[in-house]
Amino acid sequence: MSSRSLPPLPQRWFHSFEFPDGERVEGIKPLASLREEADQIFNQPLAGRRILDIGAWDGFFSFEAERRGAAEVLATDHFCWSGQGWGDKRGFDHAHARFGSRVRSLDLDVAQHRVEELGHFDTVLLLGVLYHVTDPYRILEAAAAMSRDHLVLETVTALRHEPVPAMRLFTELELDRDPTNFWAPNILALREMCRRFGYTRFAVMPEALDNRGWRKWAMPFRRKDRYRRAVFHAWR
């Protein structure tokens, strides 16, 4: 595809990419961190599986699922593509063209749609979404309803020493100076919510990004270990 026929570049990337021709784009998340995170997210074979990526943004994990052999990938977003987030869909569309991808995309809020409208998927990804919504239970319930047997979350966690399921509500601008950050659950809360949605097996992986320094602009409390990011798997 010639450069003239490519979709326009975004003003700013969130995901980093290396395209088939060797060109790289540098987003806020470094490529090394994304690749390490992908190894934690895609820790089982994807061949023949249908994948739903909720909150895809620039689409790194959608395209990575396709690259790793998924039979079908649907990327969805609204907050970052046409909602109140600072991004838009130009990054996804440009990367989609550069990769010659077959990933499908829909601009929608999954919590507003019934499973009958989108169908069921073998694996549902909910990455970097949970803390941006005012009702995390509702978005998790919607994601679980569309998952046949596997749900993967990546999220900020807090209150990890609390002995009961709990969530932390941020004050405005408290987390990374971002007013769209609301909630951080502890792992017990993630497990309990997922149990209510029919999941029986769980795995937690402390996310590599905590040690990669890609959030050097984060608030000082992050370095005091009050909050951690984690990749959380749930299976039925």
pLDDT in tens, 56-110: 999 999 999 999 999 999 999 999 999 988 889 999 999 999 999 999 999 999 8
| Predicted pLDDT at 215 | 53
Average pLDDT over the chain, rounded to an integer: 90
Question: Cβ(121)–Cβ(152) under 8 Å?
Answer: no
Strand 72-77 relative to strand 17-18, pairing: unpaired
For the domain bounded by 10-235, which CATH number is listed?
3.40.50.150
List, for residues 176-234, the tens digit of each pLDDT value: 788 889 999 999 999 999 999 999 999 998 654 444 444 543 444 444 557 889 999 99
| Predicted pLDDT at 220 | 43
